[in-house]
Amino acid sequence: MPPVEVTILIPAFNEAGRIERAVRESLVRLESEGAPGEVLVVDDGSTDATATIVLGLAAEDARVRLHRLPGNRGKGGAVRAGVFEARGDIVFVLDADLSTPTSSIGDALPHLRDGADVVTGSRHCAGASVLRRQGILRRSLGKGFLLLARRIADPRSTDITCGFKGFRRAAATAIFHRVTVDGWAFDAETALIARRLGLVRREVRPHADLVIVDAPATGHGVGLLAAPALVSEAIGGGPLGRLAGEVAEFVGDPARTAVVVAALAEEMPVQEALELFAMMRERLGRTPDLVAVNGLYPPFPTATVGAGSREQGAGGAIELWRQRRAMNERELERLAAACQGPLARIPLFPESPGPALVRQVADVLAGAIAPQEPR
């Protein structure tokens, strides 16, 4: 059996509508982090097709495993069972709804490799953001529980109830041998036990959320980004005005929102992109964090040109290709001079189309926007 460095543990109860996406994104994350690992789904007594879906995924990929509990024990019970079933030296707990994205594994993994015993996600530490808010009653009850849990369990924690957690195997075993709570409050118990054991604990926040603005739609994307500030100014106080103000702060904070402009390296799209840059500075007080430039012509593949009578016909195509490539280089210089952020160059004819290309482009975009250091 090959070694397993990382186990991504997903507790699931009636998650048929979401579990496939969670598993597939977790597999992609293992590949992007270069971590030999597994995705372990703990079915907490589901009555829907959750287990069937996971078994199908396991048939496709040996890194996927299913551990079924005979009945619904609660999230704490499912996580505890999964910890003892996991094979990895590092165990991450990830919610099936991906409320914390798999990119947070990339934030946390270096800390665990560097000696931290426990890494937890936080929606409240500096730079963190929440786009899907719960209802006001649940938020109020949650804040009350969080304050109480912090006081009792670990005053250093800013978000004890966040579903994303990472453990070194020895730490996970030591903690969950002592955990007794099967329900949702197990988060606070794990924090208390980790504190009493003197384990090294760190918090991380998710990567920035990306707002993609297509350059030819100049004005539309910027208008959407600027709308919360306009609503906040127009309404002033009150719940709606305060919410609009929070969204405006979120959109305007480069630590929480990265704006990516997509454009072609051609004269008209580049001119529209430059107008968009100016509009962003005027209405948002910021410039793009990244410009993704599509459809760039690579050097002409001369080895494919035939001889004899075919050369005359190919000559025009070669010259047109070279002209397009020269235009690309010229317009890229214009973009680079006007944009303060990096350019991500995406070729016209990728060598590996399909899922591999999607991962390649994602890596280019992720690498161009360096996440801030966790705090």
Q: Where are the domains of the chain?
A: 6-204, 209-368
Between CA 104 and CA 108 the distance in angstroms is 6
DSSP state of 236: -
Q: Are the beta carbons of 241 and 232 closer than 8 angstroms? A: yes
Least confident of 145-149, 212-216, 349-353: 145-149
Query: What pLDDT was estimated at residue 74?
Result: 92
Question: 290 or 80, which is more confident?
Answer: 80
Between CA 78 and CA 172 the distance in angstroms is 14
Between CA 120 and CA 154 the distance in angstroms is 12
* Beta pairing, strands 165-168 & 118-121: antiparallel
Query: What pLDDT was estimated at residue 154?
Result: 45
pLDDT in tens, 29-71: 999 899 999 999 999 999 999 999 999 999 999 999 999 999 9
Most confident of 194-203, 205-214, 249-258, 314-323: 314-323
Residue 119 β-bridge partners: 166, 202
Question: 147 or 276, which is more confident?
Answer: 276
Q: How confident is the model at residue 369 (pLDDT cuts 50, 70, 90)?
A: low
Question: 307 or 52, which is more confident?
Answer: 52
Average of per-residue pLDDT across 4-26: 95
Query: What pLDDT was estimated at residue 351?
Result: 60
Q: What's the CATH class of domain 209-368?
A: alpha beta
Taking CA 166 as the corner, what is the angle to CA 146 and CA 174, rounded to the nearest 5 degrees? Answer: 90
Question: 152 or 79, which is more confident?
Answer: 79
- In whole numbers, what is the pLDDT of the chain averaged over residues? 76
Most confident of 203-212, 236-245, 269-278, 300-309: 269-278
Q: How confident is the model at residue 251 (pLDDT cuts 50, 70, 90)?
A: confident
Q: How confident is the model at residue 234 (pLDDT cuts 50, 70, 90)?
A: confident
Q: Which are the catalytic amino acids?
A: 187
Nearest to 128 by CA among 203, 191, 184, 228: 203
CA distances from 48 to 39, 68, 212, 251 (A): 20, 13, 36, 38
305 HSE (CA, 13 A, CB side): 15
Residues 6+ apart with CB under 8 A from 133: 139
Query: What pLDDT was estimated at residue 301?
Result: 64
Given a cut of 80, whether residue 138 has pLDDT beyond it is: no
Q: Which amino acid is at 160?
A: I
Give per-residue burial for 145-171: e unless 16+ CB within 10 Å, then b.
Answer: bbeebbeebbeebbbbbbbbbbbbbeb
Average of per-residue pLDDT across 146-168: 55
Query: What pLDDT was estimated at residue 9?
Result: 97
Residues 6+ apart with CB under 8 A from 362: 32
Question: 76 or 300, which is more confident?
Answer: 76
Query: What pLDDT was estimated at residue 365?
Result: 64
Strands (E), the chain: 6-12, 37-43, 64-68, 90-93, 118-121, 165-168, 201-204, 209-214, 257-264, 290-296, 343-347
Nearest to 107 by CA among 259, 288, 94: 94
**Residue 160 CA from chain centroid, whole number:** 20
Least confident of 26-35, 156-165, 230-239, 261-270: 156-165
Between CA 144 and CA 156 the distance in angstroms is 16
Given a cut of 70, whether residue 22 has pLDDT beyond it is: yes
Residue 317: other Cβ atoms inside 10 A: 11
Query: What pLDDT was estimated at residue 52?
Result: 97
- Three-state DSSP state, 291: strand
Q: Which amino acid is at 240?
A: L
Architecture of the 6-204 domain = Alpha-Beta Complex (3.90)
Given a cut of 90, whether residue 316 has pLDDT beyond it is: no
Given a cut of 80, whether residue 291 has pLDDT beyond it is: yes
Q: Are the beta carbons of 211 and 259 closer than 8 angstroms? A: yes
Query: What pLDDT was estimated at residue 317?
Result: 77
Question: 63 or 137, which is more confident?
Answer: 63
Given a cut of 50, whether residue 159 has pLDDT beyond it is: no
Q: How confident is the model at residue 299 (pLDDT cuts 50, 70, 90)?
A: confident
Q: How confident is the model at residue 133 (pLDDT cuts 50, 70, 90)?
A: very low
Nearest to 128 by CA among 171, 105, 83, 158: 158
Average of per-residue pLDDT across 314-318: 72
Q: Which amino acid is at 289?
A: D
Largest CA distance in the chain: 84
* Beta pairing, strands 37-43 & 6-12: parallel
Token pair of 123 as six digits: 């929606």
Between CA 11 and CA 16 the distance in angstroms is 12
What's the helix, strand, coil split of the chain in %, to 5? 50, 15, 35
